[in-house]
Amino acid sequence: MKIEEIPQETETPVVASKESTSPEVDNSPETIAKERAEQASLPYIWRQTLQDVTITIPLPTGTRARDLAVVIGKKSISAALKKTGSEPYINGDLFNNVQTEESTWSVVDQKELVITLEKINQSEWWPHVVTSAPKIDVRRIEPENSKLSDLDDDTRAMVEKMMFDQRQKQMGMPTSEEQRKLNILENFKKQHPELDFSNANIDLK
């Protein structure tokens, strides 16, 4: 885990989130307002990319790195002021494992704590940072077009495929690979109408 104290603000990764047009996602104003209110009530702001999660925590003006107790474990996190009786800003089990050696925290302008968690599984969106916190609907998350356009064709195709497969899994629908196998099976059935598949137990995974 790397620790730094930074004298000026630094840019943190931002992921654009917009309403999905998928009929399975609840985009009602009430649901979106509730989700936003739950996230606004947290003592921190968080953003994510497929590679990492960035947590920004407001601190009392004048706070330095030595005033904080920050512990980043493979599957847990805690951050609090060292002074006695201070409630942790964040404390609990992470949604998924992180690379502790690549994860960092820093104090910006003596007024913000910025924690960056490097994901181990870099093909999924997190619905929350710690499991005790309210969730967001990750099906609404889409990376900024400018970020996707920066990728080469092969990498972009891979990222889009991972995003599609994750959404399909969350909706209980076949992934792109399962759909490919299903198409092969359907074509085989058409070519062999004499075969009876009614009692066949076929695993597409």
Three-state secondary structure of 13-78: CCCCECCCCCCCCCCCHHHHHHHHHHHHCCCCEEEECCCEEEEEEECCCCCCHHHEEEEECCCEEE
**Nearest 5°: phi and psi at 77?**
-150, 145
| CATH code given to domain 2-136 | 2.60.40.790
One-letter amino acid of 69: A
The string of pLDDT tens digits covering residues 68-104 is 999 999 999 999 999 878 899 999 999 999 999 999 9
Residue 109 vs residue 176, higher pLDDT: 109
119-131 burial, b at 16+ Cβ within 10 Å, e below that, comes to: beeeebbbbbbbe
**What pLDDT shows up at residue 144?**
57
The string of pLDDT tens digits covering residues 15-67 is 334 444 444 677 788 888 999 999 999 999 999 998 999 999 999 999 999 99
**What pLDDT shows up at residue 195?**
77
**What pLDDT shows up at residue 202?**
64
**What pLDDT shows up at residue 7?**
46
H or E segment and range at residue 141: none
- Extents of the domains making up the chain: 2-136, 151-193
User: Confidence band (pLDDT; 50, 70, 90) for 2?
Assistant: low
Residue partners of 53: CB distance under 8 A and separation at least 6: 46, 47, 98, 116, 117, 119, 126, 129
> Residue 110: which region, alpha, beta or left (left: phi > 0; alpha: psi -120 to 50)?
left
